Structure formats: C-alpha cells, structure tokens
C-alpha cells in the first residue's frame, strides 16, 4: 500500500463512550422515597381538603348543608352565589360589607409592606456590611423583639393611641404592624445581603457610587427574590392579624379589616354557616393568589442565606 493511499484512508470512527446504566436504588433509598411521597400526599390532603370543604359549603344552599353537612361534592344544580353576594354587599344595603373590609385590609397591608421593606432594607444592609459595636448580637436581639407576645404590647399601645386620639384610625394599625414586622424582616434580609459578593459593591464605590447608590444599583436587583418573599410574609401578617385590629378599630365599623369582619360572622348565631364559609374563602383567596403569582421567587427567597449569615 502506497503512502498516498494511507494518507487518504478514512479515519476510524471515534469510539462511543460506554453507556452508563442507572445504579439500582438500594432498599433504604426506596423506603425513604416512599416515605417522602407519602408525607407529601398527607400534607397536601391536610392542606387542600379543608379549603375544598370550605369552598363547597360556601356555594351550597343552607338547607342542603343541614341535610348533608359532610358531603364534599356539590351538584351543578345546587351551586349558588347568594352567599358571596351577601358577603360582598355593603352593610347599608343589607350585606356584610366585606368589599369595604378587604379594601381596608389591602390598604393597611400595602402601607405596612412598603414602610417595612424600606426600613428593613437599610437596617439589613447596615447589619450585613457595616462594622459597629454589637453587630454580632444584632440578629439575636431582632429575634428577641419579635418573640415578645403581642398581648404584652396590647395594653400600653391601647393607652398610648387613646391619648393620641388614634383609635379607629387605619394609620395607627399600620404603625403597629410595621413595629411588629421590621425586626423579622431585617433578620430575613440580612442573610441574603451577606451572600452578595463584596467585590461588586467595592467596584461600584470605586466608580463613584454612594452607599445608597450601591444599595439601589447592586444590592436591590440581586436580592429581589428575598425582597418578594419578605414582602409576602409581611403582607400575610398584616392581612390576617386580629388582636390589634380588634383593639383599635372595633368602634369604627367602616374601618374594620377583613379578619375583624370575619370574626363578627363567626360570633353571630344569625349568620348561616354558608355565609361564614364564603367570608372565609374571601379572606383566604388573595393570599393564595399572591403565593401562586410569586411562587418561584418566594421559594428562592425563603431558602436564600441558609448556608451563610
């Protein structure tokens, strides 16, 4: 065979890497996998079934509920929206006024989220980046403040706001919620800020940015998942809170929040169970909708800073 023939001979096809077979699962792995699936199913049932039962009761006529209270399904011919119409109709028109209560709760919760995030962003950044005396114990102190039972603060705040003529005012309620949520919001955000590389902020400072510019241009965009998770957590607290709403707003029904309105339904023997369930659904749906809309960022934010902080 000539040299030219050898030079022009087709090269051999590259050998394929041996196929990797999946390692068979051990008995322990199969057991733990089955237990994990069972736990997920049980938790899902415990979470979903009560809400489904509440939803079914809210669209069934009260006569059918009295005859078969334990039925978890509803026939299409039985579905009624009269309960929701009664719940959302204003009080002056003979309804329960939940539409007004939801507006009050949304206003208080939104103001609480905005003010809490502004205060906690600055506080969390200072704790995670600046050096000052007592920095190491700051996280512990924030948790200690949050762990105080609200009932201990109820009487002093009630006396204070009575002297300031702020009882019945939604602004007073928002102030209390901000004071409650700022410590835990700082604790949640500081762990995420600690995971942001310091070199990025140092480069921005060298380029002429101020500390506020660094927070706005570097820290906030990178910490958006944690901000959304913290905002949802604060919104949920302000939306569902009952004790302080009862103390400060009970005398002004037009300023009631939705949790206070729902407690009135549950404590009245004149209100049918179906109307109470409709009010419960109205109270729960906004939170569920917010969680589904921000599910991905919520999971990222809640797991952020788990290894560092």
Q: What is the pLDDT at residue 299?
A: 63
Q: What is the pLDDT at residue 40?
A: 92
Whole-angstrom distance, CA of residue 229 vs CA of residue 233:
6
| Ranges 158-167, 269-278, 294-303: which has the least confidence | 294-303
Report whether pLDDT(10) > 80. Answer: no
Report whether pLDDT(306) > 50. Answer: no
Whole-angstrom distance, CA of residue 202 vs CA of residue 218:
10
**CATH 1.10.3720.10 residue window(s) in the chain:** 88-303
Report whether pLDDT(61) > 80. Answer: yes
Q: What is the pLDDT at residue 3?
A: 46
Report whether pLDDT(297) > 50. Answer: yes
Mean pLDDT across the stretch 44-73?
86
Q: What is the CATH number of domain 88-303?
A: 1.10.3720.10
Both structure tokens of 112: 């609480």
Both structure tokens of 14: 């590259």
Model pTM? 0.79
The set of long-range contacts for 117-123, using a CB threshold of 8 Å and a minimum separation of 24, is 117/185, 117/227, 117/230, 117/231, 117/234, 119/178, 119/182, 119/185, 119/186, 120/182, 120/185, 120/186, 120/188, 120/189, 120/230, 121/189, 121/215, 121/219, 121/220, 121/227, 122/215, 123/182, 123/186, 123/190
Mean pLDDT, all residues of the chain = 81
pLDDT, tens digit, 9 for 90 and up, residues 236-274: 999 999 989 998 888 888 899 999 888 888 766 777 888
- How far are the Cα atoms of 57, 82, 99, 137, 140 from residue 79, in angstroms, in the given order? 10, 9, 22, 57, 52
- DSSP string for residues in 228-288: HHHHHHHHHHHHH--HHHHHHHTT-GGG--HHHHHHHHHT-TTS-HHHHHHHHHHHHHHHH
pLDDT, tens digit, 9 for 90 and up, residues 183-242: 888 888 888 888 888 888 888 888 888 888 888 888 888 888 888 888 988 999 999 999
Phi, then psi, of 259 in degrees rounded to 5: -70, -35
The set of long-range contacts for 197-200, using a CB threshold of 8 Å and a minimum separation of 24, is 198/129
Q: What is the pLDDT at residue 305?
A: 45
Both structure tokens of 276: 């109470």
pLDDT, tens digit, 9 for 90 and up, residues 12-24: 555 555 555 666 7
Whole-angstrom distance, CA of residue 41 vs CA of residue 291:
20
CB distance 62 to 272 below 8 Å: yes
């Amino acid at each position: 065979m000539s040299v030219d023939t050898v030079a022009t001979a087709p090269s051999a096809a590259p050998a394929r890497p041996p196929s990797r077979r999946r390692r068979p699962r051990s008995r322990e792995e199969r057991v733990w996998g089955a237990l994990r699936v069972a736990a997920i199913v049980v938790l899902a049932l415990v979470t979903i079934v009560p809400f489904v039962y509440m939803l079914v009761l809210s669209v069934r006529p009260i006569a059918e509920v009295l005859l078969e209270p334990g039925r978890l399904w509803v026939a299409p011919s039985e579905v009624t929206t009269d309960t929701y119409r009664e719940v959302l109709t204003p009080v002056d028109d003979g309804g329960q006024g939940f539409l007004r209560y939801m507006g009050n709760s949304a206003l208080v919760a939104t103001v609480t989220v905005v003010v809490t995030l502004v205060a906690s962003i600055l506080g969390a950044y200072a704790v995670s980046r600046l050096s000052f005396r007592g920095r190491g114990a700051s996280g512990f102190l924030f948790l200690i403040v949050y762990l105080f039972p609200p009932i201990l603060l109820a009487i002093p705040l009630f006396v204070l706001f009575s002297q300031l003529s702020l009882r019945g005012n939604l602004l007073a309620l928002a102030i209390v919620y901000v004071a409650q949520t700022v410590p835990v919001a700082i604790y949640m955000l500081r762990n995420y800020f600690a995971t942001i590389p310091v070199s990025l902020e140092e480069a921005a400072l060298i380029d002429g940015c101020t500390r506020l510019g660094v927070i706005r241009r570097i820290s906030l965009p990178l910490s958006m998942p944690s901000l959304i998770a913290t905002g949802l957590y604060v919104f949920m607290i302000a939306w569902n809170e009952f004790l302080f709403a009862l103390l400060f707003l009970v005398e002004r029904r037009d300023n009631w929040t939705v949790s206070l309105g729902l407690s009135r339904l549950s404590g009245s023997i004149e209100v049918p169970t179906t109307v109470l369930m409709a009010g419960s659904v109205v109270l729960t749906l906004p939170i569920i909708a917010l969680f589904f809309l921000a599910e991905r960022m919520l999971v990222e934010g809640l797991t952020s800073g788990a290894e560092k902080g």
